[in-house]
Structure 1
Amino acid sequence: MLTDEDIAAMTPQERRELILRLAPRLDGLPSRRTIERIRKWRTVLITLCVIALIPWTVYLAVTLPNHYVARNWVATWVGFDILLLTMLVLTAIGGWKRKQFVFPTAFASGVLLICDAWVDVMTSQRGGDLTQALLSALLVELPLAFVLIAGPLRLLRIIAVRHGMIHPDSHLWRMPIPIPDLYIDHKIPPSL
């Protein structure tokens, strides 16, 4: 039987190995081969989207008019604000109940706030509207977006450190996605 003193005397590597040995088996998950195939095809899909978006963006920059009267302007903005409100409510519920769905909802809420700030500033008329949009973006939307995006990323890193997935000095972007059979076989991911 390990005591608290025994665990405290372990090196970080020994603790990570112990955590992985004690982790429950992940039966029922896709095989490593399936996971790698899905990862490959998703990466190819995203890469193709990036390649297609570059000429599309250049085309829009060259052909779009500087002034355009939009249809459904009210429905567009009310719909966007309903989506933003929904994501913020889900984020508040996830945070209040300490549920993991707070990670994607907070991140999505932050991105929506950045989009809202961008479009508000870019479509505002000079004068009072532009000043209000800039103040709203700089004092409310962008700081809140930073909190909503950075907070969950920080929590993910804390969880990864706590569960021995990364070294406490590591950055989140260096943390590999654990492949299930690494845990089934009780192997340590190569980056640890």
Structure 2
Amino acid sequence: MDLTDEEIAAMTPAERRDLILRLAPRPPGMPSRRAFDRIRKFRTALMLVCVAALIPWTVYLAITLPSHYVARNWVATWVGFDILLVAMLTLTALAGWKRKQFVFPAAFASGVLLICDAWFDVMTSQRGGDLTQALLSACLVEVPLAFLLIAGPLRLLRYVAVRHGMIHPKSGLWRMPIPIPDLYPDRKVPPRA
């Protein structure tokens, strides 16, 4: 049976999803839905434990850290951070150029690193020219670029999900489910006639 473009366009998202499931068999080695659920629950619990531990640790640091501190390896710290930032931006550019899905995590990580760079530049700068330069760099370059690097791939990820019928076109990113268990449920696909 051949489907025309018009027949596919007339399908509901659920019908398209079902068609995708029937055309794309479950990849070998993919964990079961039950395994995905266990992994998700474990990782969620781990993140909540980390949050619970980080709150008192942050309060402790706020009370005990000195307001002035001379750091060792200052140059190596900043140069190493900038090397990491250059590497991540390069990976992002390559993934984007080659249209690879690796652009999603690479761009997101690059954006987060730029926000961290802006924060630490501003917070560790001396008052006067250093602080002014750090603020200008943060406001005019680092934060806007970070926004593009984080928001762009998230929007593209949403577009891919809409295009493949995984979510409704009016759904927001926060409503987009992780598609793997839904795309490859534990069921037998009837053989094609």
What TM-score comes out, normalization by structure 1 length? Answer: 0.91
Structure 1 residue runs without a partner (length 5+): 188-192
In the other structure, the counterpart of 1:135 is 136
Q: Aligned equivalents of 2:184 and 2:32: distance in 1? A: 12
In the other structure, the counterpart of 2:44 is 43
Q: Aligned equivalents of 1:178 and 1:74: distance in 2? A: 44
Tell me which amino acid in the other structure corresponds to 1:25: R
CA offsets 1:138-167 (integer angstroms, 9 cap, x no match): 000000000000011011101101111101
In the other structure, the counterpart of 2:112 is 111
Q: Aligned equivalents of 2:65 and 2:16: distance in 1? A: 58
Tell me which amino acid in the other structure corresponds to 2:145: L
In the other structure, the counterpart of 2:161 is 160
In the other structure, the counterpart of 1:4 is 5
Runs of 4 or more, structure 1, over 4 Å off, are: none
Q: Aligned equivalents of 1:9 and 1:179: distance in 2? A: 25
In the other structure, the counterpart of 1:82 is 83
Indicate whether 1:69 and 2:47 are aligned. no
In the other structure, the counterpart of 2:102 is 101
Q: Secondary structure at 2:184's aligned position in 1? A: helix
* CA gap 1:130/1:164 in 2 versus in 1, 3 angstroms: same
* CA gap 1:9/1:179 in 2 versus in 1, 3 angstroms: closer
* CA gap 1:44/1:11 in 2 versus in 1, 3 angstroms: closer
Contact 1:103 1:152 in 2 (8 A): yes
* CA gap 1:33/1:15 in 2 versus in 1, 3 angstroms: closer
Tell me by how many angstroms 1:126 deviates.
0.9
CA offsets 1:101-148 (integer angstroms, 9 cap, x no match): 111111000000000000000111111001000000000000000000
Q: Aligned equivalents of 1:186 and 1:72: distance in 2? A: 59
Contact 2:162 2:168 in 1 (8 A): yes
* CA gap 1:39/1:11 in 2 versus in 1, 3 angstroms: closer
Q: Aligned equivalents of 2:173 and 2:182: distance in 1? A: 22
Q: Secondary structure at 1:29's aligned position in 2? A: coil
In the other structure, the counterpart of 1:190 is none
Structure 2 residue runs without a partner (length 5+): none
Q: Aligned equivalents of 1:43 and 1:155: distance in 2? A: 25
- Sequence identity, in percent? 81
Tell me by how many angstroms 1:15 deviates.
2.9
Q: Aligned equivalents of 1:151 and 1:182: distance in 2? A: 24
* CA gap 1:5/1:179 in 2 versus in 1, 3 angstroms: closer
For the aligned residues, what is the CA RMSD? 1.7
In the other structure, the counterpart of 2:16 is 15
Q: Aligned equivalents of 1:54 and 1:100: distance in 2? A: 34
Aligned length: 187
CA offsets 1:66-124 (integer angstroms, 9 cap, x no match): 11100000000000000000000000100111111111111000000000000000111
* CA gap 1:181/1:152 in 2 versus in 1, 3 angstroms: closer
Tell me which amino acid in the other structure corresponds to 2:141: V
User: 130-139 or 176-185, which moves further after superposition?
Assistant: 176-185
